[in-house]
């Protein structure tokens, strides 16, 4: 009996995941179609031009990184080729990792403790004497 319930839980989970994926695809299709109508088919970073044959390589980038922020005027979007889009997200991730307000501890301790030139001034002053 427990096996049957487990199977229905897995089926229910699969159904929920499938519905979520369909909703996401519909949402993306909506803003992607609008962005492709609004903007020229050119990567906003590298300037590569696209046509119907390679249009799948042109992606909509959300400037504020919030995929639910889709204003009707398209002010939160820019079209980027796949490579520039990936680069943009990698840069954003790196910036967030190194920012002081990234949610980490508010410690005032330096990130490194090694000071390779700590005694250099003393050595230089010693040579002058």
What's the rounded Cα separation, in Å, for the pair 66 and 76?
A: 9
Give residue 81's pLDDT: 96
Give residue 3's pLDDT: 47
Per-residue pLDDT of the chain (129 residues; tens, 9 = 90+): 444 455 688 899 999 999 998 887 777 678 888 999 999 999 999 999 999 999 999 999 999 989 889 898 999 999 999 999 999 988 887 777 777 554 445 555 666 677 777 787 888 887 776
What's the rounded Cα separation, in Å, for the pair 50 and 54?
A: 6
**CB burial readout 10-40, b (16+ within 10 A) else e:** eeeeeeeeeeeeeeeeeeeeebbebbeeeee
Domains of the chain, each with CATH number or no CATH: 11-96 (3.40.1800)
Quick one: DSSP state of residue 39?
S
Please provide residue 39's backbone torsions phi and psi, each rounded to the nearest 5 degrees: -110, 150
Give residue 123's pLDDT: 82
Residue with tokens 């089926």, as numbered in its chain: 11
Q: How many CB atoms lie within 10 A of CB 65?
A: 13
């Amino acid at each position: 009996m427990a096996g049957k319930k487990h199977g229905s839980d897995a089926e229910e989970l699969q159904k929920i995941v499938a519905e979520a994926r369909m909703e996401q695809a519909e949402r993306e299709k909506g803003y992607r179609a609008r962005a492709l109508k609004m903007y020229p088919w050119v990567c906003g970073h590298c300037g590569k031009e696209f046509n119907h044959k390679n249009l799948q390589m042109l992606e909509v980038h959300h400037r504020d990184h919030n995929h639910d922020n889709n204003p009707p005027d398209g002010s939160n979007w820019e079209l980027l080729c796949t490579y520039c889009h990936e680069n943009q997200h990698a840069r954003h991730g790196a910036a967030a990792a190194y920012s002081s307000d990234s949610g980490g501890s508010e410690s005032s301790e330096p990130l490194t403790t090694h000071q390779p030139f700590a005694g250099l001034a003393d050595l230089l002053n010693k040579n002058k004497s």
